[in-house]
Structure 1
Amino acid sequence: MKLARILACFATIALYLSPAELARAQSTVKLSGTVPFESLRLPTYGDLEATQNLALQIWFKPRNQGELNTLAAAQQNPGSPQYHKWLTPQEYTVRFGVTQEEFDKVSHWLTSEGFQVTGGSPAQGFVKFNGSVASISHTFNTAISKFSADGTKFANATDPQLPAEYGGLVSSITGLSNLFASKALSANPARPAEEGLAARSMSNPAASLKEPLMLASLPAASPAVESPDVTMGGQTSLTPNDFYTFYDEGPLKTAGVTGTGCIAIVGDSDFNTAPIAAFNNQFGLPDNSANITKILVDGTSPGINSDEVETLVDLEWSHSVAPGAAIKYFLGNGSSSTNGPIVDAIQGAVTNGACGVISVSFSLCGGSSSFYTTTIGNIITQAQIQGQTILVSAGDDGAAGAVFNGASCVTGTTKNVNELASNPFITSVGGTAFNAGSLTSHTTERAWNDSDDPIGSFAGGGATGGGASIYFSKPTYQNGLTPNDNARDQPDVAFVASPNYPGAFVYQDPTTVGTNNCLQTSAGACLQVYGGTSLAAAAWAGVADLLVQKSGANVGSINSQVYQSAGAGQSAAGFYDITAGDNNFNGVAGFTAQAGYDQVTGWGTIDINNFVTAFVETPTGSSSAMAAATAVPAATATATNTATPTPTPTPTPTATATPGPQAVVTVTKSGTGGGSPTNTVAGGTFTIANKTKSTQTINSVTINVSDPFVFSSFTLTATIGTTSSTSSPPATLKNTVFTFSPALSLPAGQTATFALSTVIALTPGMIDRPGVRFAYASIIPSAGNGTNGNGLGHLLLGLGLLGMCLAGTSERRRLKIAIFAAMLTVVAIGAAGCGGSSSGPSGNGLFSSTQTVESASVTVGAVPQTVGGVPVKLGTITV
Structure 2
Amino acid sequence: MPHKPSHLVALLSASALGILSLSSVAQAAILRPLAIHRPGDSHLPTTPAYKASAVTEDFKALTSSPRAHTVDVVVDSPARIQALAAYSQAVSQPGSPDYHQFLTPQELDRAFGPTPAMIRQARASMTAAGWRVTGIKGLVATATVPNSKANPGLPVSPDIWSMSGLAPHGVIRRSAIGGLAPKAALSLAGENFHQPPVATQTETDAAIGDTVTVMSWNPNIKGSLPAGLPFNVFVTVQDPQGNLLPIQSISHVGDTANLVGYYEPQAMPGSSNTLWQVPLAAVRDVSSGDTLSLSVTLQSGQTLQGQFPLPTFTGSATALSPLDGQQLNTIAGVANPPAKPATVALFAIGTPPSLSDVTSYLDQNPSTTSAPIVNFVYADGASASEYGNSSDSEESQVDLEAVAGAAPGVKIQDFIFPENDAADPLISFLSDLSQQQVAKIASISYGFFGEDPATLTTLMNALTAEGVTVLEASGDQGAWDSGSDPGPVGLSSLEQIPSVLSVGGLDIAAPATLDSNGNTKQITGPAVVRAWGGDYLNGIPVNVAQSYTNADAASSGGYSTTTPVPSWQEGLLPSSAPGLGVPIISALAGYPALSGFFQGQNAPFLGTSVASPLTAGWLADVEADLGVASTGLGNLNPLLVKAAQDDPKIFTQALWGSNGAYSVTSSQPGTWNPVTGLGMVNWGAFTQDYNGLSPQTHPAVTLQMPGQSFALQPTTVSATATGMLNPRYEFWVEYPTGWWFWGGQPASKSSVSFRPSVPGSYLVRVKVTSDNGVTITKNVTLNVTSKTPMVDGLKLTSNPPWLRASAGSTVTFHAAAADTGTHPWYIYWLRGPYGVNHIVQGYAANSNLVLRNLKPGSYLVTAKALDMAQVQAKHWGQAFHTTRVLYVDSWVSALTPRSAPRGRLLTLRAAAHNITHPLYQFVVKEPNGTTISSPHNMARNFWSFIPSQPGTYHIIIYSKDGGAQQAISTSTAITVY
What is the TM-score with the length of structure 2 in the denominator?
0.48
2: CA distance, partners of 1:603 / 1:344: 30
Corresponding position of 1:859: none
Report if aligned partners of 1:77, 1:622 keep a CA contact under 8 Å in 2. Answer: no
1:65–1:418 CA distance, 2 compared to 1 (3 A): closer
Write the mapping of 1:648-797 to structure 2, written as runs, cut at 5 A. Answer: none
Report if aligned partners of 2:34, 2:128 keep a CA contact under 8 Å in 1. Answer: no
Corresponding position of 2:652: 576
Pick the aligned partner of 1:415 from 486, 489, 512: 489
Pick the aligned partner of 2:135 from 115, 119, 133: 119
State yes or no: 1:463 paired with 2:547: no
Report if aligned partners of 1:361, 1:393 keep a CA contact under 8 Å in 2. Answer: yes
Give, as a single letter, the amino acid of the residue that structure 2 aligns with 1:434. Answer: I
Corresponding position of 1:348: 432
Give, as a single letter, the amino acid of the residue that structure 2 aligns with 1:276. Answer: V
Report if aligned partners of 1:264, 1:358 keep a CA contact under 8 Å in 2. Answer: yes
User: What is the deviation of 1:491?
Assistant: 1.2
Report if aligned partners of 1:387, 1:555 keep a CA contact under 8 Å in 2. Answer: yes
1:230–1:358 CA distance, 2 compared to 1 (3 A): farther
Report if aligned partners of 1:493, 1:602 keep a CA contact under 8 Å in 2. Answer: yes
2: CA distance, partners of 1:346 / 1:576: 31
1: CA distance, partners of 2:141 / 2:62: 27
Q: Provide the secondary structure at the position in 1 that maps to 2:402.
A: helix
2: CA distance, partners of 1:36 / 1:238: 53
2: CA distance, partners of 1:493 / 1:36: 37
Q: Provide the secondary structure at the position in 2 that maps to 1:481.
A: coil
Corresponding position of 1:54: 69
Corresponding position of 1:264: 345
Aligned-pair RMSD on alpha carbons? 4.3
Corresponding position of 2:641: 563
Q: Provide the secondary structure at the position in 1 that maps to 2:471.
A: strand
Give, as a single letter, the amino acid of the residue that structure 1 aligns with 2:102. Answer: W
Give, as a single letter, the amino acid of the residue that structure 1 aligns with 2:559. Answer: A
User: What is the deviation of 1:258?
Assistant: 4.9
1:224–1:360 CA distance, 2 compared to 1 (3 A): farther
1: CA distance, partners of 2:112 / 2:389: 37
1:566–1:334 CA distance, 2 compared to 1 (3 A): same
Q: Provide the secondary structure at the position in 1 that maps to 2:507.
A: strand
Give the number of the structure with larger relative contact order, counting CA–CA contacts within 8 Å between residues 6 or more apart: 1
2: CA distance, partners of 1:297 / 1:504: 29
Report if aligned partners of 1:78, 1:621 keep a CA contact under 8 Å in 2. Answer: no
Moved over 6 A (4+): 33-41, 45-48, 185-191, 224-235, 451-454
Report if aligned partners of 2:442, 2:469 keep a CA contact under 8 Å in 1. Answer: yes
Give, as a single letter, the amino acid of the residue that structure 2 aligns with 1:597. Answer: W
Q: Provide the secondary structure at the position in 1 that maps to 2:33.
A: helix
State yes or no: 1:170 paired with 2:140: no
2: CA distance, partners of 1:91 / 1:416: 37
Report if aligned partners of 1:229, 1:435 keep a CA contact under 8 Å in 2. Answer: no
Q: Provide the secondary structure at the position in 2 that maps to 1:19.
A: coil
Give, as a single letter, the amino acid of the residue that structure 2 aligns with 1:426. Answer: V
Report if aligned partners of 1:295, 1:329 keep a CA contact under 8 Å in 2. Answer: yes
2: CA distance, partners of 1:620 / 1:579: 32
Write the deviation string for residues 401-427 of structure 1: whole angstroms up to 9, x where unpaired: 5542xxxx59x9x83423311211111
Unaligned runs of 5+ in 2: 1-29, 182-280, 293-306, 513-522, 699-977
2: CA distance, partners of 1:116 / 1:532: 41
Q: Provide the secondary structure at the position in 2 that maps to 1:347.
A: helix
Corresponding position of 2:595: 505
Pick the aligned partner of 1:482 from 573, 590, 593: 573
Corresponding position of 2:848: none
Report if aligned partners of 2:448, 2:494 keep a CA contact under 8 Å in 1. Answer: yes
1: CA distance, partners of 2:52 / 2:379: 25
User: What is the deviation of 1:494?
Assistant: 0.9
Report if aligned partners of 2:445, 2:472 keep a CA contact under 8 Å in 1. Answer: yes
Q: Provide the secondary structure at the position in 1 that maps to 2:586.
A: strand
1:35–1:324 CA distance, 2 compared to 1 (3 A): farther
Pick the aligned partner of 1:473 from 549, 557, 564: 564
Corresponding position of 1:19: 32
Write the deviation string for residues 667-695 of structure 1: whole angstroms up to 9, x where unpaired: xxxxxxxxxxxxxxxxxxxxxxxxxxxxx
Corresponding position of 2:507: 433
State yes or no: 1:246 paired with 2:331: yes
1: CA distance, partners of 2:498 / 2:100: 18
Corresponding position of 2:172: 182
Write the deviation string for residues 812-855 of structure 1: whole angstroms up to 9, x where unpaired: xxxxxxxxxxxxxxxxxxxxxxxxxxxxxxxxxxxxxxxxxxxx
Give, as a single letter, the amino acid of the residue that structure 1 aligns with 2:652. Answer: Y
Pick the aligned partner of 2:381 from 295, 299, 303: 299
Q: How many residues align?
A: 522
Q: Provide the secondary structure at the position in 1 that maps to 2:45.
A: strand
User: What is the deviation of 1:224?
Assistant: 9.8
2: CA distance, partners of 1:592 / 1:449: 16
Give, as a single letter, the amino acid of the residue that structure 2 aligns with 1:468. Answer: Y
State yes or no: 1:107 paired with 2:127: no
Q: Provide the secondary structure at the position in 1 that maps to 2:173.
A: strand
Q: Provide the secondary structure at the position in 1 that maps to 2:92.
A: coil
Write the deviation string for residues 752-810 of structure 1: whole angstroms up to 9, x where unpaired: xxxxxxxxxxxxxxxxxxxxxxxxxxxxxxxxxxxxxxxxxxxxxxxxxxxxxxxxxxx
Pick the aligned partner of 1:424 from 498, 507, 515: 498
Report if aligned partners of 2:62, 2:151 keep a CA contact under 8 Å in 1. Answer: no
Give, as a single letter, the amino acid of the residue that structure 1 aligns with 2:378. Answer: L
1:74–1:184 CA distance, 2 compared to 1 (3 A): same
1:483–1:53 CA distance, 2 compared to 1 (3 A): same
Corresponding position of 1:328: 413
1:55–1:583 CA distance, 2 compared to 1 (3 A): closer
1:418–1:46 CA distance, 2 compared to 1 (3 A): closer
Pick the aligned partner of 2:402 from 302, 308, 317: 317
1:190–1:445 CA distance, 2 compared to 1 (3 A): farther
State yes or no: 1:608 paired with 2:683: yes
Q: Provide the secondary structure at the position in 2 that maps to 1:446.
A: strand
Write the deviation string for residues 464-485 of structure 1: whole angstroms up to 9, x where unpaired: 1111001111110001111122
Corresponding position of 1:210: none
Identity, % of aligned positions: 19
Q: Provide the secondary structure at the position in 2 that maps to 1:75.
A: helix
Unaligned runs of 5+ in 1: 1-16, 141-161, 192-212, 510-524, 624-879
Structure number having the greater helix percentage: 1
2: CA distance, partners of 1:247 / 1:273: 26
Give, as a single letter, the amino acid of the residue that structure 2 aligns with 1:119. Answer: G
User: What is the deviation of 1:528?
Assistant: 0.8
Report if aligned partners of 2:531, 2:656 keep a CA contact under 8 Å in 1. Answer: yes
1:297–1:124 CA distance, 2 compared to 1 (3 A): farther
User: What is the deviation of 1:563?
Assistant: 0.6
Give, as a single letter, the amino acid of the residue that structure 2 aligns with 1:488. Answer: L
User: What is the deviation of 1:169?
Assistant: 0.8
Give, as a single letter, the amino acid of the residue that structure 2 aligns with 1:508. Answer: F
1:560–1:589 CA distance, 2 compared to 1 (3 A): closer
2: CA distance, partners of 1:558 / 1:261: 16
2: CA distance, partners of 1:227 / 1:321: 35
Q: Provide the secondary structure at the position in 2 that maps to 1:29.
A: coil
Write the mapping of 1:806-845 to structure 2, written as runs, cut at 5 A. Answer: none
User: What is the deviation of 1:387?
Assistant: 0.4
Q: Provide the secondary structure at the position in 1 that maps to 2:435.
A: helix
Give 1 or 2 for the bigger CA radius of gyration. Answer: 2
Write the mapping of 1:198-213 to structure 2, written as runs, cut at 5 A. Answer: none
Moved more, 95-104 or 526-535: 95-104
Give, as a single letter, the amino acid of the residue that structure 2 aligns with 1:75. Answer: V
1: CA distance, partners of 2:170 / 2:534: 27
Give, as a single letter, the amino acid of the residue that structure 2 aligns with 1:325. Answer: V
Structure number having the greater strand percentage: 2
1: CA distance, partners of 2:666 / 2:311: 13
Report if aligned partners of 1:77, 1:621 keep a CA contact under 8 Å in 2. Answer: no
Corresponding position of 1:791: none
Give, as a single letter, the amino acid of the residue that structure 1 aligns with 2:607. Answer: G
Report if aligned partners of 2:473, 2:502 keep a CA contact under 8 Å in 1. Answer: yes
